[in-house]
Structure 1
């Protein structure tokens, strides 16, 4: 019984130490911005999915759940992502970004990127402790999700947004 109590106590201490060491979004904000900017500036992934209007890259863990005009509902495990596109807006358009920014008064992150005639962005809003609304886009393309893992999801979402090609 004493060994069990010690082991249980060590597990509790370990969990407390790990939770105290886990960094918040604000501590990693600059790193995440740099990671998303690098993905934005990189060569787009080769497309492997399409709708009536667009072709796009989808990482292997993502699945198409539903397609409607201008929207593709994606799943990655239990996470849901919405891929919105306006095929009339070019890669340098700020229309989707401007309308999205106006939906919230304040964002925990409002980062923009430009390169070679493309306009990209990342918006993050904390919803509750360790839960964030994450929006990533380029021109007339926008991906939205709710997540606890802003870093990994932002990079994957920018990979998808960067790959979208209007047919």
Structure 2
């Protein structure tokens, strides 16, 4: 009897503390860490030049459409990313972050800053089927997608790498470095 009780106690501690499926809180925390690590990491070298901008895109991500301030990206058949960029804002701009702060039902809103740049990540619930709105930004660039819970962490890093790699051609306005 004592042996069964000890085994039951060990099993309950193991199952309770070492869940195979991370909680929403854990996923959101990992997403924050992933975005922050990507923000701090070296900026990937631009491999795409289109119109007045240059940027880095991983091989799995393709440009679907582009206009004056927006780019629609896709990854596979099911993942779409909407990139908004404002060439009048520099890398330290907090304009998009201030807009992101207006939403109240967010699970995460975390900003990152260094000497020259300002970035952020925001996660908001969309529905009960583990879908979330994920938005990352750096300066005058923000990228938004809908993501499954188990893809939040990877998408946050991917999106931050893209956001921080976007550079604008110099113009008469304040802009990022010329490429």
Number of matched pairs: 147
Match of 1:79 in 2: 79
The answer to whether the aligner puts 1:48 opposite 2:50 as a matched pair is: no
The answer to whether the aligner puts 1:117 opposite 2:116 as a matched pair is: yes
CA distance in 1, matches of 2:82, 2:106: 19
Q: Secondary structure at the match of 1:90?
A: coil
Structure label with greater radius of gyration: 2
The 5 Å alignment of 1:18-57 reads 21-57=20-56
Q: CA deviation at 1:96?
A: 1.6
CA distance in 1, matches of 2:50, 2:25: 36
CA distance in 1, matches of 2:23, 2:53: 35
* Uncovered stretches (5+) of structure 2, i.e. residues with no partner: 1-18, 170-179
Q: Secondary structure at the match of 2:142?
A: strand
Match of 2:13 in 1: none
Match of 1:89 in 2: 89
State the TM-score, normalized to the length of structure 1.
0.83
Q: Is the 8 A contact 1:47 1:56 kept in 2?
A: yes
State the TM-score, normalized to the length of structure 2.
0.78
Q: CA deviation at 1:34?
A: 1.8
CA distance in 2, matches of 1:139, 1:83: 13
CA distance in 1, matches of 2:160, 2:24: 18
C-alpha RMSD over aligned residues: 1.3
Match of 1:163 in 2: 165
Q: Secondary structure at the match of 1:93?
A: coil
Q: Is the 8 A contact 1:53 1:87 kept in 2?
A: no
* Uncovered stretches (5+) of structure 1, i.e. residues with no partner: 1-19
Q: 2:155 aligns with which of 143, 150, 153?
A: 153
CA distance in 2, matches of 1:132, 1:118: 26
Q: Is the 8 A contact 1:113 1:119 kept in 2?
A: yes
* 1:9-45 per-position Cα deviation (integer Å, ceiling 9, x unaligned): xxxxxxxxxxx73223312322322221111011110
Q: Secondary structure at the match of 2:153?
A: helix
CA distance in 2, matches of 1:53, 1:87: 9
* 1:45-89 per-position Cα deviation (integer Å, ceiling 9, x unaligned): 010112222110001100110011100000001110011100000
